[in-house]
Amino acid sequence: MLALLSLPDLRRRAALFGWMLVAALPVAYIAVVVIAASRNIVFWDEFDTALDLIIRMNAGAGSDEILGRLVALNNEHRMVTSRLLFAASYWLTGTVNFAFVGAIGNLFMVATCVILVLAVRGTERRVRLGVVLAFLMFQLEHFENFIWSGASIDHFQVVTLAVGAIVALARGSGGGVALAGALALTATFTLAHGSLVWPVGAALLAHQRRWRQLGAWIAAGTVALLLFLWGFKFNPGHNISALTWESVGAMLRYWLALLGAPLTLGHAGFAPLPGVLLLGSLGVLAARGALAREPIAMFVALYVLGALALVAFGRAEIAGAEINSRYMVLGALAWALLLFMLLERLTPPDRPYLALAGALPALAALALTANVKFSPQVEGFVEVRDRAATRFTQYGEDGRGIAPLHPRPGHAEVLLRIAAERGLYTLPVLSRRAEFPEPATNLSLERHIDELIVNDHAVTVGGWAMRLGHVSRRGQVHLVLRSPQSTLFFSTITLQRPDVATAHQQPDWRLAGFRAVITRERLPAEDFEVGVLIKDGDRVEYAMTPNRLLLAAGSEARAERGAGQ
């Protein structure tokens, strides 16, 4: 088959394959990060939006109560679609899995990019847009959405719905308008800024002089917005004050900062400058016919401008020097579409990837810098969530560590107890049994146990361990419990230990910390020596410590620290 292709065709196919690989790199990196961070742990908002909802459904709540919970306001949003997803999980499986929900949320980001790429015509154009979207959308500026289902399921979903509505509307058919209306209605009841699809869609129809469809669109939008505003109230904690010149100025500055934040890596101080650049560039393109030439890209960008203006209205007075990761997906999408439209103007017909190749170093540098900057925040979020879950397992109550599972005291305990009793949800086991048939002994492993606790709920062992001359990585350290009768291995959660890295002058040991929390019923009544095991690729080594866990029947269970510990 290849022999029948001409040399130009072979080059074209090779270039296409090469650019597809380039686009796959940032997507694959984010997939690895997401999978490593994924846990079925209910955290903060998810207690109310998901766990409390399925508990009430299981308790036999009537249709009126369920409907009321689905459409209830939460910080100026009606998050009907995400709550329906949680409800669907319960109807289909009898429980809810937050790791699975997070995967669905991330797939919405993939769906957004696929919709946009398929909406443009021509293979080379699709490649150019796909590469730009891959590097601007799949990087850790958006870490909060990528690794927390409580954010991704709303903030990625609303973008997908809005983009899908605009693409369907641009098709020009009656069926496209009907589909766009359904997606716009869903977006409106996903997050408040989803409602901006209606005025943007009206502008698109007016620009294309589709007057009959415009009338139907305005009527449908009016009904949808009236339903959204029925019983609407502002959250008093958001400090949305009366409009004054000063407050309007603050909102304008914050709006420009939201627009420019993807280029300043979330820092709000300098972000208004690229925000002005984004606005000016879109204005120039619009004046030069981009609304007719690239209607989907332009009107999606206009939706982003309006959506972030609404976000600025609600968040300007409580925003700080950094912009929340969850909001930057919108600005990044606008920049991706702007760059795509600029590439279309700069690309010579006979060299379809020349301009893209020129932009690639800047795209790669921005994505790499963002990944480096926000990687510690990923680690921090994962650690806070995991620490909260292990402390709950350790003590049977929330709030005993550096952060709670839920900010309201006692709330997590009540919901988790009810959910467990009814078989709806339990916190996952974070320290799982592992098998290492023939681990090698290595007494040169650096290790220290600084947390050794036995109580009625669980056994807790924490500290740090690493191999000399090697980088500490997440998930490497395992706990070893050895008695005359048995040798047990357990996985641990990884903890950041910058203090250890600094003390040993080894920056690569930042992730050397670990903690294992094992409920008492999972351990036999035996007296154990405590050790650590490190799995680094195919190399598996362990070393014991002087510490002991005395759990044998007939005596009081306790921990016994060895000399020097």
Amino acid at 14: A
Residue 219 forms part of a structural domain: no
| 140 and 32, same domain (yes or no) | yes
User: Beta strands 527-536 and 477-482: pairing type?
Assistant: antiparallel
| 110 and 39, same domain (yes or no) | yes
Report how far residue 139's alpha carbon sits from residue 266's, in angstroms, rounded to the nearest whole number.
Answer: 13
pLDDT at 239: 59
Best CA proximity match to 307, nearest among 190, 136, 205: 190
- Domain of residue 530, residue span: 433-560
Residue 231 forms part of a structural domain: no
| 26 and 139, same domain (yes or no) | yes
Token code pair at residue 509: 């040991």
Identify how many contiguous H helices and E strands the chain contains and give both numbers. Answer: 21, 13
Domain stops at, among 428, 444, 466: 428
Domain stops at, among 382, 398, 428: 428
Token code pair at residue 107: 């797939």
| 411 and 480, same domain (yes or no) | no
Residue 115 forms part of a structural domain: yes
Residue 56 forms part of a structural domain: yes
| 476 and 420, same domain (yes or no) | no
Residue 213 forms part of a structural domain: no
**Which residue ranges of the chain lie beneath pLDDT 50?**
1-2
CB 513 within 8 A of CB 469: no
CB 109 within 8 A of CB 156: yes
Residue 189 forms part of a structural domain: no
Q: Per-residue pLDDT tens for 136-174?
A: 999 999 999 999 988 888 999 999 999 999 999 998 888
| 401 and 504, same domain (yes or no) | no
pLDDT at 240: 59
| 465 and 549, same domain (yes or no) | yes
| 412 and 487, same domain (yes or no) | no
User: Beta strands 539-550 and 558-560: pairing type?
Assistant: antiparallel
Residue 518 forms part of a structural domain: yes
How far, rounded to the nearest angstrom, does the alpha carbon of residue 503 sit from its chain's CA centroid? 33
> What DSSP character marks residue 48?
I
Domain stops at, among 390, 410, 428: 428
> What DSSP character marks residue 522?
G
| 479 and 548, same domain (yes or no) | yes
Residue 23 forms part of a structural domain: yes
Q: Per-residue pLDDT tens for 47-106?
A: 988 999 999 999 988 888 888 888 887 778 889 999 999 999 999 999 999 999 999 999
| 443 and 481, same domain (yes or no) | yes
* 486 backbone dihedrals φ, ψ, rounded to 5°: -155, 160
Tell me whether residue 85 is exposed, middle or buried, using C-beta atoms within 10 angstroms of its C-beta: 0 to 12, 13 to 18, 19 or more.
buried
Token code pair at residue 419: 């959910």
| 17 and 134, same domain (yes or no) | yes
Domain count, the chain: 2
pLDDT at 403: 87
CATH number at residue 442: 2.60.40
pLDDT at 563: 64
| 541 and 402, same domain (yes or no) | no
